[in-house]
Structure 1
Amino acid sequence: MTTEWKMQGEYLESCTCKGACPCVYLEAPTEGDCTAMVGWHIEKGHYGDVTLDDLNIAVALNSPGPMSEGNWKAVLYLDQRASEQQQEALGNVFGGKAGGHPELLASMIGEVLAVETQPIGFVVENGRRHLTIGDSHEANINAIEGQDGQDVTINNHPFAVAPGYSLVVAKSRSLRHQNHGLQMNLSERAALYSPFEYTGP
């Protein structure tokens, strides 16, 4: 029997591309490949009877070409605060075993380098998002200011982590990850964030 689940919250991504990331338009990354950190904060969620409220999850990945073409190498980080049941639920959803949009995202992964349990922080502030994984990995991003101080947004993009939502265009203050061969220590690179809502199966 398939488990019914639902979650909603905030997501961010920060990567090595310069300027606006072309991956959301199905184009090649600006550096030839794209190394990125993606994080989700689940404001409200459940997997069957297992509550997932206020948990975080993150992925570090490398895409050898356009992200939509797959063959990613990825490290999955599960929230250390989660119980064993919650970690299993998060692993099922974001590992692509439970259906919904995460199944499509997981199908892009060619090699899982590791699955780790770490302290994961996700700060949501006006115009800023900050993902931390353990003591040494982070994506700290600020929204780009548009006309009249409004957000710069991307709508109806063909490659979406959070379908149905407009992306806020941001820039990294810091993008750091040094683990399992995925190396980043950059700033002033492409970043995006938006709400998300996933349902399965």
Structure 2
Amino acid sequence: MNPQWSLKGDYLESCNCKGACPCIFLGSPTEGECTALVGWHITQGQFEAVDLGDRNVAIALHSPGPMAEGNWKVVLYIDQRADEAQQEALSRIFGGQAGGHPALLATFIGEVLAVEHLPIQFEVEKGHRHLKLGQSANTEITALEGQNGAEVTIHHHPLAVAPGESLVVAKSQSLLHRAYGINIDLSERSAFYSPFAYSGS
């Protein structure tokens, strides 16, 4: 029986695709393969009796082709501020062992290259997000400006990190990761962000 847990907060993803990443529409990456950083800031969270509020998680991933075809290689990063019980809970949730939507996302993973505990910063400002993982990775993204200054959004896309939410379309000012063979250093590429809510029930 899966444990009782729930999380909500903010998420972002930033990848090497040009334009709006086709992967969320089950298409092929614009560069033939997709390398991305995905981060979550938990504003409220509980794993049974363990409080997970104000903790961050991130993954670096490489998909050799369309993301929906799987075979991802990933590195899981857990907030260094998490105590032992929080680390265990976050590893189980985002590793897919605790059910819920993260378990579905985990079915696309072919290999976990590492699990690391690092200082993770996740900054949320209007129209802007910044994720920093120790000294090895970071991304800064800014929302695109749509009609009359409104956000550009995507709804009901089939491959979703945050199901039920509308994605805000953004562009990266930086996308950097250098560890475990997942190496990227780009700017002006595809990015998205939105709220997220997961549960194990």
TM-score class, shorter: over 0.9
After TM superposition, list the pairs within 5 Å mapping 1:79-158 onto structure 2. 79-158=79-158
SS of equivalent to 2:102: helix
1:58 corresponding residue in structure 2: 58
What is the alpha-carbon distance in structure 2 between the residues aligned to residue 5 and residue 136 of structure 1?
A: 30
Amino acid at match of 1:175: L
SS of equivalent to 2:198: strand
1:45 corresponding residue in structure 2: 45
What is the alpha-carbon distance in structure 2 between the residues aligned to residue 184 and residue 28 of structure 1?
A: 19
Amino acid at match of 1:60: A
1:139 Cα shift? Answer: 1.1
> Is structure 2 residue 36 aligned with structure 1 residue 33?
no
Provide the TM-score with structure 2 as the length reference.
0.99
How well do the aligned residues superpose, as a CA RMSD in angstroms? 0.6
1:162 corresponding residue in structure 2: 162
1:8 corresponding residue in structure 2: 8
1:136 Cα shift? Answer: 3.2
Structure 1, unmatched stretches of 5+, are none
What is the alpha-carbon distance in structure 2 between the residues aligned to residue 123 and residue 160 of structure 1?
A: 22
What is the alpha-carbon distance in structure 1 between the residues aligned to residue 155 and residue 148 of structure 2?
A: 19
> Is structure 2 residue 21 aligned with structure 1 residue 21?
yes
CA deviations over 1:16-52 (Å, ceiling 9, x no partner): 0011100000000000000000000000000000000
1:135 Cα shift? Answer: 2.0
Identity among equivalent pairs (%): 63
SS of equivalent to 2:90: helix
Structure 2, unmatched stretches of 5+, are none
> Is structure 2 residue 182 aligned with structure 1 residue 182?
yes
Provide the TM-score with structure 1 as the length reference.
0.99
Amino acid at match of 1:143: A
CA deviations over 1:127-181 (Å, ceiling 9, x no partner): 0000000023101100000011100000010100000000000000000000000
1:2 Cα shift? Answer: 2.7
Could you list the structure 1 runs, at least 4 aligned residues long, displaced by more than 4 angstroms after superposition.
none
SS of equivalent to 1:27: coil
In terms of mean alpha carbon deviation, does 162-171 or 129-138 score higher? 129-138
What is the alpha-carbon distance in structure 2 between the residues aligned to residue 135 and residue 165 of structure 1?
A: 31
